[in-house]
């Protein structure tokens, strides 16, 4: 997203630089160090140049100070907000939570113009830090490469193999799918071994495939030839997969607690919003297989919804850099 | 293709292969939507018809459907247009009133009319008739349009011809330019070749000259090298011959040294024997002398014991006397006591004579024995005792006097007081000894005091009036003043000191300094001096003395105070405190300031440097205080001077 914004700003004729630092999220003391480091940054003047505008995107870089700063909130430090578990939190984490909340409450309201990457992010900021922000969507990377073709019989789930992405919901659902539809899960991550074990255990080797890392071209084609896209993360910030699916004119199956995905998927119009129950999910997977025409229609509806929402870099640039 | 039978792996395979083929060629059946370059909510028919052929259709899609034309639709409409089957307006209406067009809802006034009419055309027979009818109505407009079109086309054609001729012209020019450049490049190449040849020539010349120089250099080097080798040979021969000479000389010296050594040893032996003999002799003398010394010491001890006994007797006697005096004592008892005392006194005198005689003989014996160090020690101890005896002698004589005075008449309380007050001066003798030990011999002191003579000559009124030395001690300064011809008087609170001075015929009084000054008239003195007295006064006392001094001095009179210099590290940290009657070290700066503040002008201070035979006054600035050593080198005494205005 950052590079996309930079390129869009460059196309619009601005001089842009990206400013970032490697971020260690463990141990908690490193997080605090990074926070304090960014708090000290005054970016009004830089080596003799005046910086006219600062666009802050995420924690902990949004602590840097500037007279004319705009916030386009991508992430806060989720570990101390919605992912924070009071019972299991270590002492260090508790301390970190208090520190970060203190800083966020102080610094975030100091932005005069506040945008958020999605409604989910905006609502979180409102709930935890009491600040309002305007939702501003942006296109996924290489949006023009996505295309649509006659589907084969598989559902596609591209994402990092992480706990939060919950590919296991698809694997669980495939146990109860009655039609010959397959599932292709693309991506690498820490959960790979666990998912492989699950597939073996449930004897789903013929139905579910973990194909690992894929190239960009393969990705576009996998989208284009899928019957539908299965995307059920937990409380996703935004969800590029949803947008990519819509650009490829494919229906999206998601869950009620998937966060940002729900901002683009309307149940029954361009996809389904279901509970986490594998039976419910399997039901709808079968439905897509048995109603190919309806699936195509839903896909096309998704495409139109994409354009209705005016998701473009021009729009982003006009709001952030006016 | 029935996809239902494909396995998952097969699907993945196909997809991957397909992805390799794809790049830009893949177009979706529903193409991309982009914002048109001038997207508006409404258009006029004229606007939309302003473009032609491919452009017209492309634009129509963008304007009415807000997307790029799909290949199917595009081809279809283009065909319709080119074949003449539909005109532009008809195409526009078809697009606008399709399902998609309706959804987009772009306003094009009057287009609906066209659309509806076209729909009517579709009615069989009636539609055909209607078409003809409408065409007839449209005829004049059509002819107009045709003429317009013809004119337009002609205009365009002319434009094109013009552009074309201009283009051809430009082309000719370019051709000419290229020919020019070509010729120039040929010239350039010719020139380049010429330059290269020249470079070759000069390179060869250069190389030749370099080689020539090299040869010359080599020849020269060789010559030099030869010379150096011959010279070196010559030098080596020389060195060898010199070394041979030296070797012989060295050998000769060695032989001589050996003989000398032997002689030396023999001589050493002889000297050692001599010394041994002398040592034995002196040891004999020494043991004799030691014995003698021991004798004296034991006698001393006896004397001392005796003395203490007498002293006790004296105290006892004193108490007894005082008691008796209170109670009244018969005459006879007094007489008896007197006799006893007399006897003791005579014993003392006798003993004193004996001691003196022994002492004299001793000093004679000792000088012939030449044991100076031991003698000096002994002399000192004897002096001590001399003084002790002197002191007690005085006391005893005093008591006797008092007693004699008392015998005929009643004893008055004043006289008793005097007796008792003598106690205060018991320490006097000790102090004198103390002085002797620690301050130095009289002669040394006098030599040092000569340093002040220049200061005296500065004082113009010195010869006019009296000068007073406070705390004159043994009177060295007074003696010096007398020698220089000044009228000097001294005062001291130590009876023994005062006696000593009086013996040397110096004018000294037993009196307190402050009391003495208070007793003098205003403007009566020329100088007031004090050597090592002010450090014995506490601050208030010193101020009082200064105030009196101001009053008592004549105009132009001076004060001169010598005192230990605490700037010297040794003095300031240890030597000052040897004398327990010293109060506080007096820093020259603050003391000078004090003197000035009490009304003296021209106040200054000098450091006094003592060398073996001479002492000099020094400016304190000559002693910078930077290193540790500097603090040790500062003189140990300094003198303050001040004048009355």
Q: What is the pLDDT of residues B396-453, one digit of tens each?
A: 767 766 666 665 555 555 555 665 555 555 556 666 666 666 556 677 788 888 888 8
Q: Where are the domains of chain A?
A: 2-136, 143-308
3-state SS class at B616? strand
Beta pairing, strands A134-135 & A113-116: parallel
Segment B361-410, tens digit of pLDDT: 665 655 555 556 666 777 777 777 777 777 776 777 677 666 666 655 55
User: What is the overall mean pLDDT for chain B?
Assistant: 81
The tokens of B375 are what? 């003698």
CA distance B318 to B419: 9
CA distance B208 to B31: 80
Interhelix angle A292-308/A278-290, rounded to 10 degrees, is: 100
Q: Phi and psi (nearest 5°) for B460?
A: -75, -25
Give the pLDDT of residue B499: 85
| CB-side neighbour CA atoms (13 Å) of A45 | 2
CB contact under 8 A, B19 and A220: yes
Segment A72-129, tens digit of pLDDT: 998 888 888 888 888 888 888 888 888 888 888 888 888 888 999 999 999 988 988 8
The tokens of B637 are what? 């005494």
> Do B333 and B406 contact (CB within 8 A), yes or no?
no
Contacts of B584 (CB under 8 A, 6+ apart): B535, B539
Mean pLDDT, rounded, for B314-335: 65
Residues in chain A within 8 Å Cβ distance of B16: 218, 221
| CB-side neighbour CA atoms (13 Å) of B306 | 16
A81 close to B (CB below 8 A): no
A222 close to B (CB below 8 A): yes
Residues in chain B within 8 Å Cβ distance of A303: 30
Q: Would you say residue B337 has pLDDT above 70?
A: no
Return the minimum-mean-pLDDT range out of A180-189, A312-321, B300-309, B481-490. Answer: B300-309
Q: Would you say residue B271 has pLDDT above 70?
A: yes
Restricting to B residues 21-60, those with a Cβ less than 8 Å away from any Cβ of A are 22-23, 26-30, 32-33, 35
Give CB contacts under 8 A, 24+ apart, made by A44-52. none
Segment B502-546, tens digit of pLDDT: 888 889 998 889 999 999 999 999 999 999 999 999 999 999 999
> Do A111 and A55 contact (CB within 8 A), yes or no?
no
Question: Cβ–Cβ contacts within 10 Å for residue A193, how many?
Answer: 10
> Do B51 and B59 contact (CB within 8 A), yes or no?
yes
Give the pLDDT of residue B603: 93
Give the pLDDT of residue B29: 44
**Nearest C-alpha neighbor of B70 from the set B102, B29, B103:** B29
Return the minimum-mean-pLDDT range out of B86-90, B400-404, B485-489. Answer: B400-404
The shortest CB-CB distance from B8 to any of A149, A209, A218 is to A209
CA distance A219 to A145: 10
Interhelix angle B588-597/B539-552, rounded to 10 degrees, is: 50
Question: Cβ–Cβ contacts within 10 Å for residue B215, how many?
Answer: 10
Residues in chain B within 8 Å Cβ distance of A307: 33
CA distance B590 to B539: 12
Q: SS in 3 state form for B491-503?
A: EECCHHHHHHHHH
Structure ipTM over 0.90, yes or no: no
CA distance B338 to A139: 139
Give the pLDDT of residue B562: 94
CB contact under 8 A, A149 and B3: no
| CATH number belonging to the domain at A143-308, selected among 3.60.110.10, 3.40.50.2000, 3.30.70.20, 3.30.1360.120 | 3.40.50.2000
Nearest chain B Cα to A214, which residue? B16
DSSP state of A61: G
Mean pLDDT, rounded, for B24-39: 49
CA distance A44 to A54: 9
CB contact under 8 A, A221 and B30: no
Residue A216 distance to chain B (closest CA, Å): 9
CA distance B391 to B378: 20
> Do A15 and A283 contact (CB within 8 A), yes or no?
no
Exposed, middle or buried: residue B490 (CB in 10 Å: 0-12, 13-18, 19+)? buried
Give CB contacts under 8 A, 24+ apart, made by B619-626. B620/B588, B623/B567, B625/B567
B259 close to A (CB below 8 A): no
Q: Would you say residue A251 has pLDDT above 90?
A: yes
Entry pTM = 0.41
The tokens of B137 are what? 């109505």
């Amino acid at each position: 997203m950052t590079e996309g914004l930079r390129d869009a700003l460059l196309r619009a004729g601005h001089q842009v630089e990206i400013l970032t630092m490697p971020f260690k999220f463990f141990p908690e003391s490193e997080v605090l160090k990074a926070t304090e480091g960014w708090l000290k940054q005054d970016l009004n003047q830089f080596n003799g140049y005046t910086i006219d505008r600062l666009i802050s995107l995420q924690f902990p870089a949004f602590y840097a100070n500037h007279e004319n700063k705009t916030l386009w909130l991508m992430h806060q430090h989720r570990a101390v907000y919605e992912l924070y578990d009071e019972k299991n939190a270590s002492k260090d984490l508790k301390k970190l939570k208090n520190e970060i909340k203190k800083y966020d409450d102080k610094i975030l309201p100091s932005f005069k113009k506040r945008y958020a990457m999605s409604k989910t992010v905006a609502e979180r900021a409102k709930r935890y830090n009491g600040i309002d922000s305007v939702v501003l969507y942006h296109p996924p990377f290489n949006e023009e490469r996505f295309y649509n073709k006659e589907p084969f019989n598989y559902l596609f789930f591209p994402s990092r193999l992480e706990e939060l992405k919950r590919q296991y919901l698809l694997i669980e659902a495939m146990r109860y799918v009655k039609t010959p539809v397959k599932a292709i899960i693309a991506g690498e991550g820490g959960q790979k071994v666990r998912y492989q074990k699950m597939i073996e255990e449930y004897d789903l080797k013929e139905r579910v495939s973990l194909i690992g890392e894929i190239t960009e071209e393969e990705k576009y084609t996998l989208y284009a030839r899928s019957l539908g896209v299965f995307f059920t993360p937990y409380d996703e910030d935004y969800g590029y997969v949803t947008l990519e699916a819509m650009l490829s004119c494919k229906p999206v199956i998601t869950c009620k607690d998937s966060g940002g995905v729900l901002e683009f998927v309307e149940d029954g119009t361009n996809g389904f919003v279901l509970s986490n129950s594998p039976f419910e999910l399997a039901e709808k997977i079968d439905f897509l297989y048995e109603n190919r025409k309806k699936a195509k229609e839903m896909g096309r509806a998704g495409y139109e919804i994409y354009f209705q929402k005016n998701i473009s870099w021009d729009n982003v640039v006009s709001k952030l850099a006016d | 293709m029935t996809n239902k039978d494909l396995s998952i792996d097969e699907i993945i395979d196909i997809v991957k292969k397909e992805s390799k083929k794809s790049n830009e060629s893949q177009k979706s059946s529903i193409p991309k939507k982009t914002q048109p370059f001038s997207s508006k909510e409404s258009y006029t028919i004229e606007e939309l018809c302003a473009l032609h052929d491919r452009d017209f259709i492309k634009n129509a899609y963008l304007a009415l459907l807000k997307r790029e034309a799909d290949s199917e639709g595009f081809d279809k409409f283009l065909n319709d247009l080119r074949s003449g089957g539909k005109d532009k307006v008809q195409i526009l209406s078809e697009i606008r009133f399709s399902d998609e067009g309706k959804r987009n809802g772009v306003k094009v006034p009057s287009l609906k009319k066209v659309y509806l009419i076209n729909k009517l055309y579709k009615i069989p027979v009636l539609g055909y008739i209607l078409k003809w009818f409408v065409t007839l109505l449209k005829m004049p407009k059509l002819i107009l349009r045709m003429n317009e079109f013809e004119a337009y086309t002609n205009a365009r054609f002319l434009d094109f011809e013009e552009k074309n001729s201009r283009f051809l012209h430009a082309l000719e020019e370019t051709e000419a330019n290229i020919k020019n450049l070509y010729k120039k490049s040929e010239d350039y190449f010719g020139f380049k070749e010429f330059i290269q040849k020249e470079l070759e020539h000069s390179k060869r010349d250069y190389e030749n000259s370099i080689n020539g120089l090299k040869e010359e250099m080599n020849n020269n080097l060789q010559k030099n090298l030869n010379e150096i080798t011959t010279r070196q040979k010559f030098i080596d021969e020389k060195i060898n011959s010199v070394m041979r000479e030296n070797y012989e000389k060295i050998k000769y010296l060695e032989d001589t040294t050996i003989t000398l050594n032997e002689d030396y040893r023999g001589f050493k032996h002889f000297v050692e024997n001599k010394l041994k003999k002398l040592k034995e002799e002196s040891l004999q003398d020494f043991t004799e002398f030691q014995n003698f010394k021991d004798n004296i010491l034991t006698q001393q001890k006896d004397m001392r014991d005796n003395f203490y006994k007498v002293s006790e007797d004296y105290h006892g006697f004193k108490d007894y006397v005082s008691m008796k005096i209170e109670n009244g004592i018969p005459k006879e008892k007094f007489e008896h006591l007197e006799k006893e005392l007399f006897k003791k006194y005579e014993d003392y005198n006798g003993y004193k004579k004996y001691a003196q005689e022994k002492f004299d003989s001793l000093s004679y014996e000792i000088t012939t024995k030449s044991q100076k160090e031991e003698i000096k020690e002994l002399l000192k101890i004897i002096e001590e005792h001399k003084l002790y005896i002197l002191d007690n002698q005085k006391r005893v004589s005093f008591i006797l006097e008092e007693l004699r005075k008392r015998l005929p008449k009643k004893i008055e309380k004043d006289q008793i007081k005097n007796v008792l007050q003598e106690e205060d001066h018991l320490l006097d003798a000790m102090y004198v000894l103390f002085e002797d030990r620690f301050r130095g011999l009289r002669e040394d002191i006098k030599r040092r005091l000569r340093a002040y003579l220049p200061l005296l000559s500065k004082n113009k009124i010195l010869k006019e009036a009296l000068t007073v030395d406070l705390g004159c001690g043994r009177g060295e300064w007074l003696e010096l003043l007398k020698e220089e011809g000044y009228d000097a008087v001294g005062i001291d609170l130590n009876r023994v000191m005062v006696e000593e001075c009086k013996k040397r015929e110096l004018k000294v009084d037993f009196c307190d300094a402050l009391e003495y000054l208070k007793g003098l008239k205003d403007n009566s003195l020329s100088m007031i001096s004090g050597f090592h007295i002010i450090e014995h006064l506490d601050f208030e006392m010193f101020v009082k003395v200064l105030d009196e001094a101001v009053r008592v001095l004549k105009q132009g009179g001076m004060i001169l105070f010598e005192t230990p210099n605490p700037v010297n590290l040794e003095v300031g940290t240890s030597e000052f405190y040897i004398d327990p009657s010293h109060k506080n070290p007096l820093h020259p700066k603050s003391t000078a300031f004090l003197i000035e503040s009490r009304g003296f002008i021209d106040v200054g201070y000098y450091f006094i440097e003592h060398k073996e035979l001479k002492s000099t006054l020094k400016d304190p600035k000559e002693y910078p205080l930077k290193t540790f050593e500097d603090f040790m080198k500062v003189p140990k005494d300094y003198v303050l001077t001040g004048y009355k205005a």
